[in-house]
Amino acid sequence: MADSQDDKASQGQSLELEAKKDLTPGGPAGDTALADILSVHSNTEYKLYRRRFVGIVALVRSGYSKHCWRHALAVVRPYREQHGVRLWYYSRRSQLARKYRRVHISALCAAGKSRDPVHNWPLKLLQIPEIIRRYGFRRCCDIGAVCMVVSAWIRYAGTPRSLSPGGAYALLIVAQIFSAIAQPIYQVVGPKYSETWFSLEGRVTATMVLAIANPVGGALGQLLSPIVGTTRQSILVLAIISTVAAPFVFLISSAPPTPPTYAASKDPPGMVSLLRVMSGKSRPSDPPMSGRERLDFVIIFCIFGALAAAINVFGVLTAEILQPVGYSSDTAGFMGATLLLSGVVAAIATAPLFDRVFTSHLAITAKVLVPILAVVWLSLIWAVKPNNTGALYALCAIIGITSVTMLPVALELAVEVTRNAEGSSALLWFACNGLAIIFILVEGALRATPSANPPLNMRKALIFNGAFIMIVASSVFFLRGKQMRKVLDRQRLERAQVRANEVPLATAPST
């Protein structure tokens, strides 16, 4: 028995010496990482708290902010009819979407010297991760909740008939600015919250729940607007919902008393740290990335931006794509609902599998699903034609299943290769919204003339969309996607368990 105890004790000492050897000064992680590991694992065990589910519920309730801008797009026509805004519906709809995307990116950026957040966003650095690093993501959520409420009531203030057409539309644009500030906050904090509060067996599922909250909220907003009644009544209801949902932010905590994993024990590195590492000018305190991991993140950045932008723009322009070839606006709406519903069901079914079964196969999943999705986008060029309803419903369902399933996979895979949850998430959504602006501008310019056959068709836009996605998606075959964060978490957990076993071994009497 004494020999067995000595063997276990020596095993624990060897693991500790190995950890110190791997993290010696000048090594991959440097002095800071060594000090962090020794301090975390010497006297602390990992714990999970039930309150993490309370935070998830609060973030989901707050993450419905996306339905505000989708609802605003849906009521541009009523604004035009009720206030006499004599502008082409498609042009205004696209302009509003472009304005939203511009400001959405500005919300992801730092507050520069210019006072114009819409036209100077390319000159700014991503800001939300830095706010998380300095103040915690609870403060970011506070900002998002305030902006949601302000956006909703400004939008309602633009509904009286006494307002001029220009005044009503100006208030709608201002409301969109506040709404666009709120949404990226809840997008960026999702992967960070799952990393901070959840263990290895729950992070993908938590990220999935938070990621699909926005599209589900968008669908709810589109459903509520026609059910409630007039435009003014529906906007009032949405403003009340926003106000009621805002206090849920007080249920969100920045961090648990004891971290669930090694990754959760680390301080948020922030956006500047990630940019330094990506540029090859990292400091010892920055999470290290190899050259291969930097290449992997660039591939994820491009693919995520293209695919997420494509599905967002398709949601905005569904009616403009389908109505010229003979489909009603109701049919276009049902196809959009099919895309969303199938995607949500697939994400709910697959996310737990990635946590507990296919735990180390995120990159393989991307290599399987991304080519399928690219082929489906390309096939829309020939599928969008009269009397092809069944095929279009099937293609929308496939797009939804593959796209929404890939959403948490891509976000988590980016964190795995960067070890920077908030920074990688912000960059991915930055790519999505930046490309969404380009897609809307290009596809609007490629719209056919009224004299074309059929008039105002979007065939050239579909060709651009499909070709662009095929080119970008082909880079997925060069993705390695080693899940280094998960590897580190498992190693540290094993070492912590060995250290925990050393205490009773040290106090046990010898025989």
CATH of the domain at 329: 1.20.1250.20
Residue 360 within any structural domain of the chain:
yes
Report whether pLDDT(181) > 90. no
Residue 159 within any structural domain of the chain:
yes
Residue 126's pLDDT is what?
58
Residue 503's pLDDT is what?
55
Three-state helix/strand/coil letters over 353-416: HHHHCCCCCHHHHHHHHHHHHHHHHHHHHHHCCCCCHHHHHHHHHHHHHHHHHHHHHHHHHHHH
User: Any bridge partners for residue 109, and if so which?
Assistant: 126
Residue 289 φ then ψ, to 5°: -135, 135
Greater confidence, 410 or 492? 410
- Residues 10, 32, 275, CA angle at the centre, nearest 5°? 135
Residue 504's pLDDT is what?
57
Residue 31 within any structural domain of the chain:
no
Domain count, the chain: 1
Give the residue-averaged pLDDT of 107-111: 38
Mean pLDDT score across all residues of the chain: 77
- For the chain, what is the radius of gyration of the CA atoms? 25
Residue 25 within any structural domain of the chain:
no
User: Any bridge partners for residue 126, and if so which?
Assistant: 109
Six-digit token pair at 502? Answer: 């050393």
Residue 44's pLDDT is what?
53
Residue 216's pLDDT is what?
77
Range from 74-83, 116-125, 165-174, 324-333 carrying the lowest mean pLDDT:
116-125
Tell me the CB-side half-sphere exposure of residue 157, using CA atoms within 13 A.
13
Residue 126 φ then ψ, to 5°: -65, 130
The answer to whether residues 146 and 246 touch, using CB atoms and an 8 Å cutoff, is: yes
Residue 308's pLDDT is what?
92
Greater confidence, 331 or 303? 303
The model's pLDDT over 446-457, given as tens digits with 9 standing for 90+, comes to 999 998 889 999
Residue 185's pLDDT is what?
81
Residue 26 within any structural domain of the chain:
no
DSSP character string of 182-238:
HHHHHHHHHHHHHHHH--TTTHHHHHHHHHHHHHHHHHHHHHHHHHH-SHHHHHHHH
Residue 202 within any structural domain of the chain:
yes
SS3 156: helix
- Reported for 41-46, long-range contacts at CB under 8 A and 24+ positions apart, including other chains, are 41/492, 41/495, 41/496, 41/499, 42/499, 44/258, 44/259, 44/496, 45/258, 45/496, 45/500, 46/199, 46/258, 46/259, 46/260, 46/261, 46/493, 46/496
How would residue 499 be classed by pLDDT, with cut points 50, 70 and 90?
A: confident
Question: Cα–Cα distance between 191 and 272 in angstroms, integer?
Answer: 18
Question: Cα–Cα distance between 196 and 25 in angstroms, integer?
Answer: 27
Residue with tokens 């994400």: 347
Residue 11's pLDDT is what?
40
The model's pLDDT over 402-439, given as tens digits with 9 standing for 90+, comes to 999 999 999 999 999 999 998 999 999 889 888 988 99
Greater confidence, 308 or 40? 308
The model's pLDDT over 385-407, given as tens digits with 9 standing for 90+, comes to 999 999 999 999 999 999 999 99
Residue 229's pLDDT is what?
66
Residue 226's pLDDT is what?
60
The rounded Cα 469 to chain-centroid distance in angstroms is: 19
Give the residue-averaged pLDDT of 165-181: 79
SS3 325: helix
Six-digit token pair at 121? Answer: 């966003």
What are the residues whose beta carbons fall under 8 Å from the beta carbon of 303, sequence distance 6 or more? 366, 370, 410, 472, 473, 475, 476
Give the residue-averaged pLDDT of 206-234: 74
* Winning range, highest mean pLDDT, from 105-119, 125-139, 470-484: 470-484
Residue 38 within any structural domain of the chain:
no
Residue 24 within any structural domain of the chain:
no
Range from 50-59, 165-174, 199-208 carrying the lowest mean pLDDT:
165-174
Report whether pLDDT(471) > 90. yes
Q: Where in the sequence is the domain holding 492, given as residue range(s)? A: 48-497
